[in-house]
Chain A
Amino acid sequence: MTALAPIRLSSRLRANQGVLVVAALLVILLIFGAFISDRFRTTSNILNIFEQSTGLALVSLGQTLAILTGGIDLSVGSMISLLSTLTSGLIAGKVSMVLPVAIGILLLGLLIGICNGLLIIWLRVHPLIVTLGMSAVLQGIVLLYSLGPAGSVPPSFNFLAYGKVLGLPIGAVFILVLFLLVALFLRYARLGRYIYAVGDDEVGARLMGLPRARVMLTVYGFSGFCCGLAAIYLTSRFSVGQPYTGLNYTLASITPVVVGGTLLSGGKGGVFGTLLGVYLISLLNNVLNFMDVSTHYQLIAQGLIVIAAVSIYVEKKKRV
């Protein structure tokens, strides 16, 4: 049996070949972009890409953990709409309100996420259903609160979206740090390990006495928290929140996760792939912009990328 053991490359690395493909695609797009336009190559454009990817990166990060457990969070879009509308609505132009509202929004995001988690645990209903329901509830609430843009934020608030540290966009730096922290958590914390285990084999996890409830609360709570961050960021970027800010984010947040190699069935993948996926999509949109094609084509291109990417990851069935 030893004689027949497969070649001992690190199994993980081989399993994640797909991520390399995404990285390669990134490079190809970069080179392609450099060819078609001089302006593409400018530092400011590259920083611009990073800047544009911040919101998507935040939501996708939370989404990655939910999908790793074999679930999904379909409430992110409405959650962002609600939280961003509340952000500008409650700050209402007052500088003194910025900090308390920001903290409150993050806590509220966390709380909604934990509600998702609790419902999933108690009702034993698939997360798809729970979060889909939650999404409708939240969308209803935000429309009750306001039918259009609400309140405003002080001009200095756009620092979050457009400010720079050491010449780099704040959002982009924050994203890198946050992704790194979550990657470390997944790798070095026991709970991180359990996230993979629950996604890999939920019944097995129960038989082994692993803390499924804690896992669910953590990932959905975290996803809610990420929506809070995204909401604040987007409010800063657009200077005001409105009830449809997050509309596209539900589906958009799943794309980079899948493109980044995380299995929709859970148990395999990671946040690093998601980050690459986010950059790939932002870069693609940017390049298409330079090519002067309409945004409709951007959508089409995105869709094709998702399908192509997923086909790379499909586990080649070993037998029958």
Chain B
Amino acid sequence: MLNLSGISKSFIGVQALSGINLDVRAGEIHALVGENGAGKSTTIKIVAGVYKPDAGQMEFEGKPVQWARPADAKNAGIHVIYQEFVLFPHLTVAENIYLGHERRNRFGFVDHARTRQDASDLLRKLGVDIDPQILVSELTVADQQMVEISKALVHKVKLLILDEPTAVISGREADLLFARLAALKAEGVAILYVSHRLEEIFQIADRVTVFKDGAHVATKDIGDVTRDRLISMMVGRDLKDIFPPKKPKGEPGKVVLKAENVSVEGRVRNAGIEVRAGEITALAGLVGAGRTELAMGIFGGLPMSSGSVWIDGEKVDAITPATAISKGVGFVTEDRKGQGLAMFLDVAANISAANLSAVTRNGLIDRRLENEIARKEIDNYRVVCRGPATSVATMSGGNQQKVIVARWARTSRKVLILDEPTRGVDVGAKTEIYRIMRGLAGEGIAILMISSELPEVVGMSDRVVVMREGAISGELTGANISEEAIMSLATQHPTGKVPTAEVLAQ
């Protein structure tokens, strides 16, 4: 279906792809893996007509093709679900789904009733319960991803490309996606699937291609590789321990961040949590369980309808992010593009953004000092970039994530909250972020990590607080931490009934 040979692409100063080959057949799920910055997204954008290759041939359905613009690729039957969604926040779910394929009546006018009806049918077919009339900006990230996926089902596509679709969804939603992909595969659609989650690649892919540093390493039938082999092909070395050793048993750390009775309108009710110095506490639960909202409420980023917060034993009234930061609390948000990075500033400016006073001399920003710090952090986190002056907008997703962790790790003297810290980060970089988190904990900082990846929660945390439907459903420590125990706390309903919005609103 799709055949790339010898494709090269460079950006100013970066050779993103050097002569890669890739073939994707009709009726297969072809996984594409590689470290952050390996060139996966760039390849996709070439296939989608967003970038023009510097060299090489692209064949689609056996014919050589050259796209002048994304619309050409789209008309040829290629649909891409990008790493950064393409959703229009001020349009409704239904309008987004049918954008470019508007439902029209006999006279050629947009038929709103049918758009709504078809969208609701489509979402039901996908298995999700999303109101098609709601504005996309009001959806959770997971639901936005499901809307993004449903767009691929609107019209017949020949090649479907997904760039890290499961970065923001988990469990049930991921299963829904896989079921849909299996159905499309059976219909003969070619599927190119990029992901850093190796488990799911072994679960759904037929073949896998590995890229490293913009070059093609290997293409294999999935049955012919093991997980370890795949990892060593990706990172170019053997990775033995992904998770650093945990805090040795002993005295639990001192409670530095404490919240009681926190409620956030419609999202969290009466939740309490304690985060201890020197420990990594995980906040686990299904996507949408209210973990982000709870943490944001405590940080002062979301209005709490009730609740009290203590930082280092001192009660903080009417907390705002500014007071939280001044008291040594940092927050790495889950949506790095929207709330985290200043995309047009460079790495150095982004790293110092949360604490400019540290690089200010006589009222002016000392760029030399700023760059020096940035260089140190780039080394420390092994950020792949051209140096402190690289604009973060041009960096790969995983490397952007390292920059933002570096920023907050510098300013948070007491508590660091990380929301999905390794989303979209490759195994190699993940190991580094884990190492750094453990190192910070070792220095006595209290770490609160929100994560939907169970292996990560189990591998990293000294203590796990599980949320379900907006409330705390349990806490696990030490040897009690297991995937099964977390899942059962995250899903079980003691009353056997799913609480409704009204119950939660109380």
Q: How many angstroms from the CA of A232 to the CA of B470 in the assembled complex?
A: 61
B288: chain A residues within 8 A (beta carbon):
1, 4
CB distance from B211 to the nearest CB of A (A): 22
A210: chain B residues within 8 A (beta carbon):
99-100
B364 within 8 A of A: no
Cβ 8 A contact of B86, one of A187, A193, A207: A207
Q: Is the CB of B133 within 8 A of A11?
A: yes
CB distance from A89 to the nearest CB of B (A): 41
Which positions 271-320 of chain A face chain B at CB distance < 8 Å?
318-320
Cβ 8 A contact of A267, one of B90, B142, B143: B90
Interface string of B279-304 (1 = CB under 8 A from A): 00000001110100000100101100
A144 within 8 A of B: no
Q: Is the CB of B110 within 8 A of A201?
A: no
A208: chain B residues within 8 A (beta carbon):
70, 74, 86, 99-100
A137 within 8 A of B: no
Given A11-B134, A12-B135, verify A209-B301 contact (CB < 8 Å): no
- Minimum CB distance partner of A199 in chain B: B90
CB distance from B272 to the nearest CB of A (A): 19
A124: chain B residues within 8 A (beta carbon):
none
Given A201-B88, A207-B50, A210-B99, verify A3-B333 contact (CB < 8 Å): no
B444 within 8 A of A: no
Q: How many angstroms from the CA of A1 to the CA of B176 in the assembled complex?
A: 15
CB distance from B326 to the nearest CB of A (A): 14
B102: chain A residues within 8 A (beta carbon):
190, 193
Which positions 411-466 of chain B face chain A at CB distance < 8 Å?
none
The contact size tier of chain B is 35 or more
Given A3-B501, A188-B109, verify A207-B70 contact (CB < 8 Å): yes
Chain A interfacial residues counted at CB < 8 A? 36
Which positions 31-76 of chain B face chain A at CB distance < 8 Å?
48, 50, 69-75
Q: Is the CB of B71 within 8 A of A209?
A: yes
Q: Is the CB of B321 within 8 A of A320?
A: yes
Q: Is the CB of B70 within 8 A of A1?
A: no
A319: chain B residues within 8 A (beta carbon):
296, 301-302, 333, 339
Given A197-B91, A201-B88, verify A7-B333 contact (CB < 8 Å): no
Cβ 8 A contact of A193, one of B70, B110, B266, B504: B110
Q: How many angstroms from the CA of A68 to the CA of B62 in the assembled complex?
A: 42
A5 within 8 A of B: yes
- Minimum CB distance partner of B72 in chain A: A209
Q: How many angstroms from the CA of A4 to the CA of B499 in the assembled complex?
A: 9
- Minimum CB distance partner of A267 in chain B: B90
- Minimum CB distance partner of B499 in chain A: A3
Q: Is the CB of A206 within 8 A of B498?
A: no
CB distance from B37 to the nearest CB of A (A): 21
Given A11-B92, A12-B92, verify A6-B499 contact (CB < 8 Å): no
Q: Is the CB of B501 within 8 A of A7?
A: yes
B372 within 8 A of A: no
Given A1-B140, A1-B287, A206-B70, verify A196-B91 contact (CB < 8 Å): yes
Cβ 8 A contact of A11, one of B69, B129, B138: B138
B69: chain A residues within 8 A (beta carbon):
206, 209
B142: chain A residues within 8 A (beta carbon):
1
Interface contact tally, CB-CB below 8 A: 121
A96: chain B residues within 8 A (beta carbon):
none
B131 within 8 A of A: yes
B133: chain A residues within 8 A (beta carbon):
8, 10-11
Which positions 185-215 of chain A face chain B at CB distance < 8 Å?
187-190, 192-193, 196-197, 200-201, 204-211
Given A209-B74, A319-B296, verify A4-B86 contact (CB < 8 Å): no
- Minimum CB distance partner of B69 in chain A: A209
Q: Is the CB of A197 within 8 A of B302?
A: no
B178 within 8 A of A: no
Given A1-B140, A201-B86, verify A193-B71 contact (CB < 8 Å): no
Q: How many angstroms from the CA of A201 to the CA of B302 in the assembled complex?
A: 25
Q: Is the CB of B469 within 8 A of A209?
A: no
A193: chain B residues within 8 A (beta carbon):
91, 95, 99, 102, 110
Given A188-B109, A210-B99, A267-B88, verify A2-B70 contact (CB < 8 Å): no
CB distance from B399 to the nearest CB of A (A): 20
CB distance from B329 to the nearest CB of A (A): 12
CB distance from A187 to the nearest CB of B (A): 7
Which positions 1-24 of chain A face chain B at CB distance < 8 Å?
1-8, 10-12, 15
Q: How many angstroms from the CA of A6 to the CA of B130 in the assembled complex?
A: 11
Interface string of B105-134 (1 = CB under 8 A from A): 000011010000000000000000101011
Task: Name the residue among B50, B102, B504 with the largest chain A CB count within 10 angstroms.
Answer: B102
Which positions 290-332 of chain B face chain A at CB distance < 8 Å?
290, 296, 299, 301-302, 321, 331
- Minimum CB distance partner of B50 in chain A: A207
B246 within 8 A of A: no
Cβ 8 A contact of B339, one of A5, A15, A263, A320: A320
Q: How many angstroms from the CA of A192 to the CA of B108 in the assembled complex?
A: 13
Q: How many angstroms from the CA of A119 to the CA of B220 in the assembled complex?
A: 50
CB distance from A180 to the nearest CB of B (A): 15
B299: chain A residues within 8 A (beta carbon):
320
A1: chain B residues within 8 A (beta carbon):
129, 140, 142-143, 286-288
Task: Name the residue among B138, B140, B469, B504 with the largest chain A CB count within 10 angstroms.
Answer: B138
A8: chain B residues within 8 A (beta carbon):
131, 133-134
B202 within 8 A of A: no
Cβ 8 A contact of A200, one of B91, B140, B301, B302: B91
- Minimum CB distance partner of A11 in chain B: B135
- Minimum CB distance partner of A265 in chain B: B90
CB distance from B45 to the nearest CB of A (A): 9
Q: Is the CB of B469 within 8 A of A4?
A: yes
Given A11-B138, A209-B75, A319-B302, verify A4-B90 contact (CB < 8 Å): no
B267 within 8 A of A: yes
A12: chain B residues within 8 A (beta carbon):
92, 135
- Minimum CB distance partner of A15 in chain B: B135
List 7 A-B residue pairs with CB atoms under 8 Å apart, sorted by A's residue number: A7-B501, A11-B92, A11-B133, A11-B134, A204-B88, A210-B100, A318-B302
10 more A-B residue pairs beyond the given contacts A12-B92, A196-B88, with a C-beta to C-beta distance below 8 A = A1-B129, A1-B286, A3-B498, A3-B500, A6-B134, A7-B266, A193-B99, A196-B91, A208-B99, A209-B72
Binding site for B on A (CB under 8 A): 1-8, 10-12, 15, 187-190, 192-193, 196-197, 200-201, 204-211, 263, 267-268, 318-320
Q: Which 7 A-B pairs give the minimum distances between C-beta atoms?
A: A209-B71, A1-B288, A188-B109, A200-B88, A320-B301, A204-B86, A11-B135
